[in-house]
Amino acid sequence: MTRDDPTPLVERLYPALAAGDRATLAELLHPEFDGYFSPGLPAPIGGHHSGAADCIEHGWWAIGATWALRAEPERWSPCGDARLLVQGSYRGTARRTGRGVHAPFAHLWAAEGGRLRSLHQYTDTALWLAALEDDRDRR
């Protein structure tokens, strides 16, 4: 493991997200962290978040306010250059409707200076949005 190997950082990050552990996230994320969330997600989630605080508040916490989801990593692929590709599934429900979500994801992580520097999230946002529809929306 090198100082910029993202693997041990990401191994700690997923449980911290599941627990809503802001202190651990702040420890793991570089202050200038860049988060790129799939653009099809609703505002303020989708798109670029600049800085750890913005990513936590308007990315992950905004997801948590709308969906009760858990990222379940399944495959870890080191990419070199202090990058790691994690593939898996999001599983959970939309809070407003109770409808289920099961969507694949790919997360490309990068580390710098012993902390996570960026995330590029790829997921099928249509599956997330479908869970927000209630029966009246489907008619």
User: How crowded is residue 62: how many other Cβ atoms within 10 Å of its Cβ?
Assistant: 19
Per-residue pLDDT tens for 93-113?
A: 999 999 999 999 999 999 999
Say which amino acid occupies 65: A
The average pLDDT across 63-90 equals: 96
Q: What is the pTM of this model?
A: 0.92
Candidates 1.10.287.3510, 3.40.640.10, 3.40.50.300, 3.10.450.50; correct CATH number of 7-130?
3.10.450.50
pLDDT at residue 1 tops 50: no
pLDDT band at 3 (very low <50, low <70, confident <90, very high): low
pLDDT band, residue 137 (cuts 50/70/90) = low
Question: Taking the domains of the chain in order of start, what are their residue ranges?
Answer: 7-130
Buried b (16+ CB within 10 A) or exposed e, 17-56: beeeeeeebeebbbeebbbbbbeebeeebbeebeebeebb
